Amino acid sequence: MLQPMTEVILTWQPDQEKTAKTALCFVVEDMVNAGSADLVLVVKWKNVGYFREDSVPSTKYQEAKEYDVRLSVVDSGITYHRRMDAVHLVWDVERGHRILWPVLLKQDPYSLPTTNAFELAGVSEEDAAKALREYTTDFTSYLNKEQEQFLKGVLIMVAAFLIIEAAGGMGKTRIEIILSLMFASVGVVTIMTAPTNTAVDRICEEYAASFPKRPQPISVLASTTYDEDELLGKVTKRRDGNAATNEDSDTVMASLIDQFKRSDTKTRSLVPDNDLLTVSIHRAKNGLVQVLGQYNDKNGNPYGETVDMAKEFKHYLELAHNPDEKPHAEWDPEDRGKYRQCLRAVQADVLANTPVVVSTTVNAGSSMIRQNAGRNFKGLIHTIDEAPRDREADTYIP
């Protein structure tokens, strides 16, 4: 009889001949007899992920005893059990569309799109291998043997998603960060999502503390809600669902002005204020960005001359801050619309030119991120941090 903590290799013959060799390795926690199955295994996942070869090493096959039984497997891992039937979504970059694609976890992995970030971005095998060597060498002190093996696995990964499970403090987030840095080195953008502002801040702090000389991420917090008509960089719709009022807009403007005053180059710390709004204000105020474009009318049609939206945005912030000018509450609709468009344009430019975006899940499917993140890079990859705690999967849907 099997003993607890025994490793079990499960193979099966599915309908599709091409997946006949699929195998997974489990660690048995308990076993029971019930229903039509000869045996019910209560297990923890040993590994979850599909590569070009079976996910179980051949040496495991040689050591294992073989049994032919009707088997039922129950996942006991409390960290992932609740998500088995959930819909996860990954970026569908294979088809050339910057949209999110729903993936059922129980779906045949071979039917999912290939999402090897190097391959999809057109990165040569030589350049991909070079990037891997650099990052496994530079970060050896941060990685144990299993983590190094996982990092190497991304060169051959063809699945649409990979689940990394480990106890707290085992370095999952650090691996995620190293992956994002490695992808950035070959022109691939990473969008990292986490369920809360605290989780987003923790990722950014890890970046700054461990890799201060590497590209730092741009964060998009839950306090930023992107609405097509009312994109102000802050919540633009009240919780009762009604459209934002001028009073709401004034509150947002007050926040913008406050950040504008505090965004002096000399007083900025190494890390964060790295949220999208603050970075946008900082770059516009200090002339670090040029965003050429036209204003749109209420129907979305461009009009007038091409202008530098960053300078326009700075102008409107200075106007609102000037006590000798009309307060923001008294601006006419045209000026209100223009400053919102300026802010949109600058934020879009920031997202289009940053190699790593760390966002709360609720914002990951926003049009601002979908349309702009990775726009000026070769490719795009999406990672989900603390996925078991995330209850916002539906917000990925565009």
| Residue 361, amino acid | T
The reported pLDDT for the residue numbered 98 is 37
CB neighbour list of residue 297: distance below 8 Å, 6 or more residues apart: 303
> What is residue 260's predicted lDDT score, i.e. its pLDDT?
61
Domain residue ranges of the chain, discontinuous segments joined by +: 78-217+354-396
pTM for the structure as a whole: 0.62
326 Cβ contact list (under 8 Å, min separation 6): none
**In this predicted model, which residue has the larger pLDDT, 118 or 83?**
118
When the pLDDT of each residue in the chain is averaged and rounded to a whole number, the result is 68
| Mean pLDDT calculated for residue range 16-22 | 49
Average pLDDT (225-252) is 40
Residue 27, pLDDT score: 65
pLDDT computed for residue 310 by the predictor: 93
* Position with higher pLDDT, 154 vs 288: 288
Share of the chain above pLDDT 70, in %: 54
- Span 22-33, pLDDT tens digits: 566 666 666 655
Q: What is the predicted pLDDT for the residue at 198?
A: 84
Mean pLDDT for 86-106 is 36
Per-residue pLDDT, 292: 94
**What does the pLDDT read at residue 134?**
84
pLDDT over threshold 50, residue 299: yes
Q: What is the dihedral of CA 385, 391, 392, 397, to 10 degrees?
A: 90
- Most confident option among 98-107, 240-249, 356-365: 356-365
- pLDDT score at 25: 64
Residue type, position 72, single letter: S
Model pLDDT, residue 31: 63
Q: Residue 308 pLDDT more than 90?
A: yes
Instruction: State mean pLDDT over 338-347.
Output: 90
